[in-house]
A and B are shown apart, each in its own frame.
Chain A
Amino acid sequence: MSTAKVISVPITGQQHLLFLFVPLKKGKLAEAVKIADTLHLAAKEVTAPTGPFDPRKTTGVHYFMIYPQADGQKTPGIPVPGFTSFPGKDVLVVMSIYDGQFDAYISAFFAIPAVVNGLNALMYLMDETGIPGVDPNGPTSANHIAKTGVVRNALAFYCLLMRYNFGDPILSAGDSTPGGKYQFGSNFPGLTVANIIDNYPGAADEWPAPPSDVTYTFPKAKKPDCQ
């Protein structure tokens, strides 16, 4: 039996999970969703600066999901509670798979003013009061960051996100080393957004920069018939 080839996936080539449960002031879900939409749109409008630099190589994610859930509600469509909010607060669930280092990924968005504005606005909607172990006015709190904004509090902002991140920035997709807090698989370790942009034959046409130069239609797949 031959020995399996060992391939080292550099940190910049690793895929990581972001899975946030952001506590919001009760009744602010609609505003939060509006901000999330703004962020999505702003990221989509990103244009490549002059030269070959494409910011999507850092800001691009493979997938993302944003889901708002009101205080005390069960996650709809399933017969178990699903996501839960901290009592007395709404929750914004954000999930994505990003490449490379957590701080490099987050800070790349700071170059997009509309995203920065959205994140700053989100700070005002968060509610960290009464959560055990959290100082709602401490240096990494949303309250504190809101005063001067996320860009001038970059490190504090990373710490704030990490507080509510179920994802582990050092657990890489496809890494089967035992001991991680969840299984995170991938059949294509190292297949980063940057690699897709650089190497996929039709990338410039199918995923041009800026992304808003194209629109997509999605004929619907079918659910299994479970009646």
Chain B
Amino acid sequence: MGNNETILMDDVQGLILRGYNYPNIRYIILNIREKAGAQKFCADLVPREGATGLTVTTGEPWDHGIKPAYCLNIGFTYEGMVQLIGTENCNTVNLGSSYEVFNHFSIGAVNDADNISDTGESAPGNWWKNGGWISKTPPRADGTDLHIQITLFTLSTETREEFYAKLLAMIPEAAAGGPSVVPVYYQDSDPVVVDGHSDYIHFGYRDSLSQPRIANLYWNKPSVRKLLGISTIDDRPTVPVDRFIIVQDPSIDYYAHPLLTNGTFVAFRLLYQDVAKFNEFINSDPGTPPDLLAAKMCGRWFDGTPLVVSPNKEDKNLGEPGPTNFNFTNFDYLAPSTNQPNDRSSDDSGQKCPYASHIRRANPRDDINVTGNNDNAEKHRIVRRASPYGPPYVAGEKPGVQRGLVGLFMGAVLASQFRFVTTTWFELNGFRSPDASPNNSGVDPLFGPQVADPDPTNDDVFAFNNKGTYKTIPTKLTRFIRTDGSLYVFLPGIQGLISLSKGTIPASV
């Protein structure tokens, strides 16, 4: 798989290519009431010289590397696209694209819920009901009232309100009166700070330590990396850009209608995290220190230290994760990566990092014994732009406080990226072969066993290899994460956004 095309950074939404690392974010969902007004709203968001309102942030480098006051990105559900360009055009886009590129998107998150284990408490009937829904009309069970998803990144809570107000002011009046587009839901995200570091999630782990390294981006070009002094210390294999940005290239394993060019697909997820239940579990076995059990479940110690490089304790000598420190991601499971620090022994047996652990399942790296992985997970990597919502957990707090992780999980092909990782690597019993654990490593322990799990008698077991003997935690695993909302969203390229705003599609190739 390969792609050598230069990416048109001004036609790609910037969020796909880089994490903005803004502290205060608002994730907004809007309902289209009137097509013409919605099209004008989209047209006004197109980045251009002299724009007076907010515009979509592209992939172009920021002037002098200085962050703008806000960043904004926009995506559309299938129903949103139908509203803007009509069913016939959507059918044309579908027929002009690989089935796995467009079909699951058109099916939508509600109809796909059973397939990705959004069942039981996580079922669509319960979505959008735990805070954040601002419309007086309750959410439709089928999700067809959710059309546009906008993410607004700001540098303070004050400017978040300011820019949100500006965004709403851009919405045109409908001919029949009232706004043509109405926000129905939003969720704010603010940092969870631990020891002065603002990159933690509510479960207590440091987050976002190993995003895919996308090939052919300006800052990933060998010459630029040399200038930055990072060319030889980042061991992450590059992933072709066509995994994250839809390109037109006959040599790759999908094709797409031109409307989709330079766009990507996203699973927008609202994931409640039950910190009290998680804490109870990691403290449940007197023979296993809670920080060790938490590390075995995640694959990293709370401070982000990978178990593979430091199996017995956190390692502060790894330094602070950052743009030139790759100690937190320079490692492999079977053979050490070039610059892997500390422990360079193989973890083929999962003695250091359990097969079941979250990061090993999300990205099995060089472990070719994992189902569907003989390419460093290249085909299945996901760009993850998610952040915490809700207040930090306080022991003894009243029940019902809503907190978790909200954000976008991106990939050009939903079927082989978000859906594959979720269904096959997180939840499918038999993640790896051979696997001598007592339950074939069950399921991802952070997500836990799902309703109608394929192996209900075993998937509530968490065990880890302790010097050749499996240590089984006596307490049964339950679900620590609940899906409180989900959308499949298309993030268009800028030309795609212009087409949508005109209600048209480009001609098929």
A residues at B contact (CB < 8 Å): 6, 8, 10-13, 49, 51-53, 55, 57, 100-101, 104, 107, 110-111, 139-140, 144, 148, 151-156, 159, 192, 194-195, 198
Contact = CB atoms under 8 A, between A and B. Distances in A.
Contacts of A110: 253
Contact of A53 (B100, B368, B415, B454): B368
A69 B495 CA distance: 52
Given A139-B103, A152-B255, A194-B433, A6 B371 contact: no
A13 B441 CA distance: 13
Contacts of B454: 11
Contacts of B431: 12
A59 to B, nearest CB: 12
Interface stretch (B28-36, B108-116, B422-430, B476-484): B422-430
B254 A152 contact: yes
B100 A198 contact: no
Contact of A100 (B100, B103, B430, B457): B430
A144 B103 CA distance: 15
Listed from nearest, the 8 A-B pairs whose CB atoms lie closest are A10-B430, A12-B430, A156-B99, A155-B100, A10-B440, A155-B99, A11-B430, A53-B368
A8 B440 contact: yes
B434 interface: yes
Interface in B439-482: 439-440, 454-455, 457-458
Interface of B: 94-95, 98-100, 103, 252-255, 368, 371-372, 374, 415-416, 424, 428-435, 439-440, 454-455, 457-458
SS class, residues of chain A in contact with chain B? helix
Given A100-B371, A104-B372, A153-B98, A13 B255 contact: no
Contacts of A151: 253
A53 B433 CA distance: 12
Nearest to A147: B255
A155 B415 contact: yes
Nearest to A138: B95
Name the residue in B98, B415, B424, B439 with the highest tally of chain A Cβ atoms < 10 Å from its Cβ. B98
16 contacts: A8-B439, A8-B458, A10-B430, A10-B435, A11-B430, A12-B433, A57-B433, A101-B428, A107-B372, A139-B95, A139-B99, A140-B99, A148-B98, A152-B252, A152-B255, A155-B98
Contacts of A144: 95
Given A8-B457, A53-B374, A156 B429 contact: no
A52 B367 CA distance: 11
A101 B427 CA distance: 13
A154 B253 contact: yes
Given A10-B440, A139-B94, A152-B253, A51 B99 contact: no
A100 B434 CA distance: 13
B253 A8 contact: no
A127 B434 CA distance: 42
A159 B431 CA distance: 24
Given A53-B368, A192-B433, A6 B457 contact: yes
B99 A159 contact: yes
Given A6-B457, A148-B255, A194-B433, A153 B99 contact: yes
B455 A13 contact: no
A11 B433 contact: no
Name the residue in A100, A152, A156 with the highest tally of chain B Cβ atoms < 10 Å from its Cβ. A152
B161 to A, nearest CB: 43
A51 to B, nearest CB: 7
A198 B95 contact: no
Contacts of B368: 51-53
Contacts of B429: 8, 10-11
Nearest to A194: B433
A130 B254 CA distance: 29
Contacts of A107: 372
Name the residue in B95, B429, B430 with the highest tally of chain A Cβ atoms < 10 Å from its Cβ. B430
B1 to A, nearest CB: 10
Given A13-B430, A100-B371, 19 more contacts: A8-B429, A8-B440, A12-B371, A13-B433, A104-B372, A104-B424, A111-B374, A139-B99, A139-B103, A140-B99, A148-B98, A148-B255, A152-B98, A154-B99, A155-B103, A155-B415, A156-B98, A192-B433, A195-B433
B411 to A, nearest CB: 14
A13 B458 CA distance: 15
A57 B374 CA distance: 12
Contacts of B253: 110, 151-152, 154
B102 to A, nearest CB: 9
A185 B146 CA distance: 48
Nearest to B102: A139
A11 B423 CA distance: 12
Name the residue in A11, A12, A194 with the highest tally of chain B Cβ atoms < 10 Å from its Cβ. A12
Nearest to B435: A10
B366 to A, nearest CB: 9
A172 to B, nearest CB: 11
Name the residue in A144, A155, A156 with the highest tally of chain B Cβ atoms < 10 Å from its Cβ. A155
A10 B100 contact: no
Contacts of A111: 374
A154 B420 CA distance: 13
Contacts of B458: 8
Contacts of B432: 12
A101 B94 contact: no
A154 B433 contact: no
Nearest to B434: A198
Contacts of B415: 155
Contact of A10 (B374, B424, B433): B433
